[in-house]
Chains A and B, each alone.
Chain A
């Protein structure tokens, strides 16, 4: 078939959904602690954008990044073991839910300071430009980041220096509990980005095919030397901000309205209606995702805590470290994730 592999995109979204449903369950069972922010409802964004990147590209994400890590190629086991705080985790249990990193897949976190990842993305792209490498850095952040100074500094730098960055604003309408209209004088985020002389497109973030198509065009343009591009992906978080959020700031009817546009249901229904997805196919997709996550849980459950004697490791590099963390460019960095 021509165009994107829609069934693959459905599979990717479902893998993320199942992983995070399991995370919530494990959090309730006190297997996972700390803050846990799930992406349920927003899966079309990560699935659509990440499907058009290559292994040489880089990804910078936020503290709501389990899905991005999984789709980038970090295994469910490494992600869950990280949340369990075990040494088999992708960061040896030192990062946790909010700080997933993986050098092998050029996954640069896992940033829990809102907008703090944007300057990193600018720098990664600057390194590529200076080295003459045709790579793209995709940087995900929420619309709450738009209020931060680092957002504006990064937009300006990327546009001024024509750097190969794809900015992906996951506009889920709430910065924790603060609605967009209560925090921004101009709520059209793509318009703000356009003010930096950057191509900026707003996309229906619940329609994974639209996300994939737009992201593909944007990534192609960035890679071809067209400078930074900006996507405002209009989406919605179905669950609470974190496990501590009583959701006093939005009404249930609004959530229910958005749930009618669940990106997984939308695509599944459309594929079924056009005869491209049978009930058996759907059952198989679910079984595959469930099996993958179950294997991940088993891996995490079998994990081991890092010895306390190692507590002070990784504050400074250990002898012999060359300092190159650029997973795509040098062979000396080894992450714990593996591509599917």
Chain B
């Protein structure tokens, strides 16, 4: 059937609400407004205000309440409008959600799912456009997911709700309107492994979330040059599926990491470090990176585009790596 990324997310939420009476959705404007990005549109009418719960603008309060409700036996889905707003809840996410199990010596599980929009590309300026999922991937105790496909948008949520630990799901804003075919029986998917989205033998392009489409486009462009690029979708930023990443680069011996986050101290830096630590003698070229410029994301279209990864930049980086053939 035809589906948008947004509709796939909504189908996942609806299924969770139908399957498990402990599940409820809570966040700013998830109910009467229909969701700030219309993901939850119609769910209030279907499930009522107890389970599609509008909150005041108090990120720390309602994220913490989600943690408490999870401790109390519920399976809350908390929606934060954008990743920048999640910083107001960072205390709860880091000091409570991520730490309670360990601090309590294994007694208190936090089966909480937090969804939020991430990323740039819509001229929303510096307070609505950042990609901070790599930051969150720094924190032990959290599981960080970045659905890039309709199947993952549809299926990651249920698996995340089944997880006894806190899971953060980052939905790139540029993906909501992506349309495609989704199997009628699409359902829960694994949330522990990276996936090869395009096979290839000459180089591995490693990416996730919002930059998957442009990375696939770059692979098509590279094919025109006779370069057969593999595209690896990380899907889960923490814990990283290191085995799949290493196996891919061991095959192709070259890699470009594509990440909309800033490069300094980032998830792309982490992947480069692991490749260097473990595959140093097997690499045929230095691992390259395509990241966002190190600026708060600007409003004007041309500057925003210049700040972000593009297929052309990925192609240039890949050509450079392949050209370094020794």
Interface on A for B, CB 8 Å cutoff?
A: 58, 89-95, 99, 101-103, 108-111, 113, 116, 118-128, 130-131, 149-150, 153-154, 156-157, 160, 313-318, 321-326, 329-330, 333, 335-336
Contacts and interface: CB of A to CB of B under 8 A. Distances in A.
Contact of A325 (B64, B102, B108): B108
Interface in B259-285: none
A127 B56 contact: no
Nearest to B76: A123
Given A128-B72, A316-B165, A326-B73, A119 B104 contact: no
Given A113-B91, A314-B106, A326-B73, A150 B61 contact: yes
B185 interface: no
B60 A335 contact: no
17 contacts: A91-B105, A92-B105, A116-B64, A119-B60, A119-B61, A120-B67, A127-B71, A128-B72, A130-B69, A150-B64, A156-B61, A314-B102, A315-B141, A316-B101, A317-B165, A323-B109, A325-B110
B180 interface: no
Contacts of B109: 317, 321-325
B67 A119 contact: yes
B68 A95 contact: no
A101 B104 contact: yes
A115 to B, nearest CB: 9
Contact of B103 (A91, A149, A153, A317): A91
A95 B58 contact: no
A108 B70 CA distance: 12
A305 to B, nearest CB: 13
Contact of A315 (B61, B62, B101): B101
A335 B105 CA distance: 10
Given A101-B107, A123-B70, A154 B64 contact: yes
A333 B104 CA distance: 12
Interface string B98-138: 00111111111111000000000000000000000000000
Contact of B55 (A95, A118, A157, A324): A157
B107 A333 contact: yes
Contacts of A160: 56
Contact of B104 (A109, A121, A130): A109
Contacts of A156: 56, 58, 61
Most chain A Cβ neighbours within 10 Å, of B61, B64, B105? B105
Contacts of B141: 315-316
A316 B60 CA distance: 23
Contact of A321 (B69, B92, B164): B164
Given A325-B71, A326-B72, A154 B61 contact: yes
